[in-house]
Amino acid sequence: MLRLFIDSFTVYIWKTIDMSQELQHTQLIRQFAKNLGFTHCGIAAAKRLDADAKRLEQWLNKGYHGSMQYMENHFELRIDPTKLVPGAKSVITLLLNYFPEETQIPAAPKVARYAFGKDYHEVIRKKLKVLLNLINENIGEVNGRGFVDSAPVLERTWAKLSGLGWVGKNGNLINKQQGSYFFIATLITDLSLQYDDPFIRDYCGTCTRCIEACPTDAILPGKVVDGSKCISYFTIELKDALIPESQKGKFDNWMFGCDTCQEVCPWNRFAIANNEKDLIPIPEILEFTEKNWEELTEEKFKIIFKESPLKRAKYGGIKRNLSFLKLSLEENTSREVR
């Protein structure tokens, strides 16, 4: 009996030590993340996302991904973090505020706010690399991989599971304190940590402002976004030489991406300007008029926007988008005259 008591007490002591270590490691990682400029850090236990697997499959089957064929690839990797990092135990989700204080000049072809500064992929990848190095140096050798946007990770689900917010009707993660102008990064590791409670509440309520404001009716009931109708899809992802004529007059002067659903979201009244030096707006983004964009040469484009997200659409894509906006405006003017 005494031996059984001693064994039980020993197990209890070791568990307490483990929990204490997990807490210390968790606090250390949160501090590292804060020092690197991440606004929020949430942590969830790594697990297979069965419910998301079903939703993703239905979304793909309905063709909501349009010509983005890469969305069909690596299905298992998207829903199971252990396929990306063998032995994964924790999924660390990090938010980086990108809301700019500055705005473009009135009437200029509009660029989504996330693209005002440097390419966020490069900015965040550097931070994730530093974070993983800090973990290895201060906690111990761990196996981990960092991801941002372009990798097969369901980052909004992990953000919700780690208590950082809820997914709004426009498909964006919404944080109750600061809205939705965030980049989401993910670090998957085989390190055991203390986990946050998932965010269960949905504070969108009966609000449908984003659905009603969407210029192309891409936001559907049930928190579903038809990606093949989104302005961001047409102006960035679509590689066709022409944008479908059915979309004429619907772009509300958006040349690259679209912020409409975020601009009307009541929660973004809490958005605050970021202080990330790499996200300082490129001057031309703020100052270019329609004429400046139209007169922009390919050589100048490559120089000015070499570190910008705009390079994803390439020079030809930007010119196509501008032509489409101009044709739409001319057609609308013609209708008004009649």
Q: Which positions ≥6 away from 239 have C-beta within 8 Å?
A: 67, 317
What is the rounded distance in angstroms from the CA atom of residue 151 to the CA atom of residue 143?
A: 17
pLDDT tens-digit map of 11-63: 344 445 456 899 999 999 999 999 999 999 999 999 999 888 888 888 888 88
**pLDDT for the residue 69:** 76
- In the set 149, 197, 202, 217, the catalytic residue is 149
pLDDT at position 4 over 90: no
Domain ranges of the chain: 2-333
| pLDDT single digits (tens) 265-278 | 999 999 999 999 99
- Residue 152: the pLDDT is 74
**pLDDT band per the 50, 70, 90 thresholds, residue 333:** low
Q: What is the pTM of this model?
A: 0.90
Whether 240 is catalytic:
no
pLDDT for position 332: 54
- What pLDDT score does 136 carry? 96
% of the chain residues with pLDDT over 90: 79
Q: Which amino acid is at 119?
A: D
Task: Give residue-wise pLDDT tens across range 189-237.
Answer: 999 999 999 999 999 999 999 999 999 999 999 899 999 999 999 999 9
Least confident stretch, 67-71, 155-159, 283-287, 326-330: 326-330
Residue 87 in this model has a pLDDT that exceeds 60: yes
CA–CA gap between residue 161 and residue 146 (Å, rounded): 18
With cut-offs at 50, 70 and 90, classify the pLDDT of residue 5. very low
